[in-house]
């Protein structure tokens, strides 16, 4: 078939080089596809998790169903920034569709968009699935078993991946052609002399394939064709390695973005303290752990006395400055492991790391009050900000998170009633007082309608016994107060 042994050997060498090159490129493409899929999966997982958290307060809100659907739709519109998103759907806990959204990729490719509905993707699978060139991310909205529904985000995996692989091949094609041309020249001119170096080169490519180390380079002394071939292969490996490094850098960037998104989701932008979501998740975990170990958890709830007057008189910028300064002072005061968080507005929570005694809680509260009482200078004005602190313990509410925070809140408001700048340990009688005040507040709205006010006139007599006039009194005849 071949005219000579030389041509046969040249052909064999050519086939060998092409085959080895194809193996390397094929493996690179496989690794590249896997790396690309992992990056897309991590990014999609973080994206769907963030949207799940954004949808949770909407589904738990008291607004109407129509208003909820509008809020959900507005939230899903944020996916317009992601060009590979085909569609996203929000399902109720009974898997009925609450709201759907078609992304940029879906609008450009209607035919593939219609194929998504033909794919059977169970909603109960909370995670990432790949099917027919699409990547599905399904996330529960809310914690199981109290989930309120699901969000499913579908992105195009096949299209961007094919384009990326084609781009990689186009960058390495010239190097491959040069390497092949050099091999042919070497085979024709210096076959016998180059058999041994070519064998070394073959071994080198096999080493790359087995070790998967694209930083390896072929070295040979001299300036012949085999050396040039080795340099060309090294150049190809440089290109491949550069692409892999770019992908690694891109992956690190995505991870950094994910970390930033996580921080935004769990930390207060103004004070840098953990936010409501973070502290509630942490408390939920600590309460479960304390219940298992039969330990107690203390919670300190405090807010600033007269904070509204600061905002009204000096402006919200001054109010923000006060919040930041108070947060810094309290956070610097606490021990390592103690958790200080901003609940919202001028309300803060403190969770001591260990199980403090009554005397330790007293010392902590006194130190907080003394530290915050130091003057704060704002726009040349010296301000003194007081705190009212409420303390509650988990064991008193059978480790229920809602009741624990509620008790600390009630105790904090008792501190305000007692004169502010104080601290109060929760006790059961506070609940009764709170209920009575709430009953009085709620009853005032219907007192006139129920005709519970009675008007009395009290005569005013002077020292000489003469009638000087009358004063009007209103008595509230409530059936139970």
Cβ-Cβ contacts under 8 Å for 117 (sequence gap 6 or more): none
- Is the distance from CB of 187 to CB of 194 less than 8 angstroms? yes
Q: In the numeric block, which tokens belong to residue 372?
A: 């915050």
Q: In the numeric block, which tokens belong to residue 18?
A: 């092409």
Domain-by-domain residue ranges, the chain?
Answer: 1-266, 276-430, 446-481
pLDDT for res 212: 72
Task: Say what the pTM is.
Answer: 0.45
Candidate CATH numbers 3.30.70.270, 3.40.50.300, 3.40.190.10, 3.40.50.2300; the one for domain 276-430: 3.30.70.270
| pLDDT for residue 75 is more than 50 | yes
DSSP for 216-279 reads: -----SSSSHHHHHHHHHHHHHHHHHHHHHHHHHHHHHHHHHHHHHHHHHHB-TTT-SB-HHHH
pLDDT in tens, 4-57: 545 666 677 777 777 777 777 778 778 877 888 888 888 888 888 888 888 888
Q: Which helix (H) or strand (E) holds 92?
A: strand 85-92
- Is the distance from CB of 91 to CB of 149 less than 8 angstroms? yes
DSSP state of 305: E
3-state secondary structure 403-447: HHHHHHHHHHHHHHHCCCCCEEECCHHHHHHHHHHHHHHHHHCCC
Start-to-end CA span in the chain (Å)? 113
Q: Which CATH class is domain 1-266?
A: alpha beta
- Is the distance from CB of 14 to CB of 184 less than 8 angstroms? yes
Dist. CA 113–CA 154, nearest whole Å: 10
Furthest C-alpha separation in the chain: 148
Dist. CA 56–CA 34, nearest whole Å: 32
Strands 386-393 and 423-425, sheet pairing: parallel
| pLDDT for residue 114 is more than 80 | yes
**115-119, 169-173, 374-378, 435-439: segment of lowest average pLDDT:** 435-439
pLDDT for res 361: 92
DSSP state of 151: E
- Is the distance from CB of 123 to CB of 194 less than 8 angstroms? no
- Collapsing DSSP to helix, strand or coil, 131 comes out as strand
**Is the previous residue joined to 145 through a cis bond, with omega within 30 degrees of 0?**
yes
Dist. CA 312–CA 319, nearest whole Å: 9
At 337, the pLDDT band (50, 70, 90 cuts) reads: confident
Among residues 162, 157, 167, 223, which one has the least CA distance to residue 194? 223
pLDDT for res 2: 40
| Mean of all residue pLDDT scores within the chain | 83
Q: Identify any residues that bridge with 30 across adjacent strands, giving them in sequence order.
A: none
At 254, the pLDDT band (50, 70, 90 cuts) reads: confident
Among residues 377, 355, 352, which one has the least CA distance to residue 365? 352
């Amino acid at each position: 078939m071949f005219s000579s042994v030389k041509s046969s050997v040249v052909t064999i060498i050519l086939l060998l080089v092409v085959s080895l090159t194809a193996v390397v490129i094929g493996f690179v493409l496989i690794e590249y596809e896997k790396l690309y899929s992992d990056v897309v999966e991590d990014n999609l997982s973080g994206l769907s998790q963030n949207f799940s958290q954004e949808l949770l307060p909407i589904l738990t809100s008291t607004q109407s169903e129509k208003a909820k659907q509008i809020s959900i739709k507005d939230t899903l519109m944020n996916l317009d920034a992601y060009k590979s998103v085909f569609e996203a759907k929000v399902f109720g806990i009974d898997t009925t569709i609450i709201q759907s959204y078609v992304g940029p990729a879906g609008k450009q490719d209607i035919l593939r968009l219609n194929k998504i509905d033909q794919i059977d993707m169970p909603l109960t699978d909370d995670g990432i699935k790949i099917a027919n060139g699409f990547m599905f991310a399904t996330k529960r909205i809310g914690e199981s078993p109290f989930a309120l529904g699901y969000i499913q985000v579908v992105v195009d995996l096949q299209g961007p991946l094919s384009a990326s692989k084609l781009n990689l091949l186009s960058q390495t094609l010239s190097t491959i052609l040069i390497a092949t041309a050099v091999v042919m020249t070497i085979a024709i001119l210096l076959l016998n002399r180059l058999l041994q170096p070519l064998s070394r080169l073959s071994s080198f490519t096999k080493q790359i394939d087995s070790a998967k180390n694209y930083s390896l380079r072929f070295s040979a002394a001299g300036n012949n064709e085999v050396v040039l071939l080795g340099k060309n292969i090294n150049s190809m490996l440089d290109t491949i390695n550069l692409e892999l490094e770019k992908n690694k850098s891109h992956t690190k960037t995505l991870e950094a973005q994910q970390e930033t998104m996580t921080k935004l989701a769990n930390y207060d932008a103004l004070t840098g303290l953990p936010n409501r979501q973070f502290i509630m998740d942490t408390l939920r975990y600590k309460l479960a752990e304390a219940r298992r170990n039969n330990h107690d958890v203390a919670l300190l709830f405090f807010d600033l006395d007269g904070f509204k007057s600061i905002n009204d008189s000096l402006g919200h910028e001054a109010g923000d400055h006060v919040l930041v300064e108070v947060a810094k002072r309290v956070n610097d005061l606490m021990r390592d492991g103690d958790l200080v968080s901003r609940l919202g507005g001028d309300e803060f929570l403190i969770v001591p790391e260990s199980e403090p005694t009554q005397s330790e809680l007293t010392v902590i509260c006194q130190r907080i009050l003394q530290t915050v009482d130091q003057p704060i200078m704002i726009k040349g004005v010296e301000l003194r900000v007081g705190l009212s602190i409420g303390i509650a313990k988990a064991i008193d509410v059978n480790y229920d998170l809602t009741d624990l925070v509620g008790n600390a809140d009630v105790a904090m408001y008792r501190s305000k009633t007692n004169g502010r700048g104080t601290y109060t340990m929760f006790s059961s009688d506070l609940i009764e007082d709170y209920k009575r005040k709430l009953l009085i507040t709620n009853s005032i709205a219907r007192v006139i309608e129920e005709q519970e006010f009675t008007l009395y006139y009290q005569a005013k007599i002077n020292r000489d016994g003469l009638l000087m006039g009358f004063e009007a009194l209103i008595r509230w005849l409530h059936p139970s107060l």
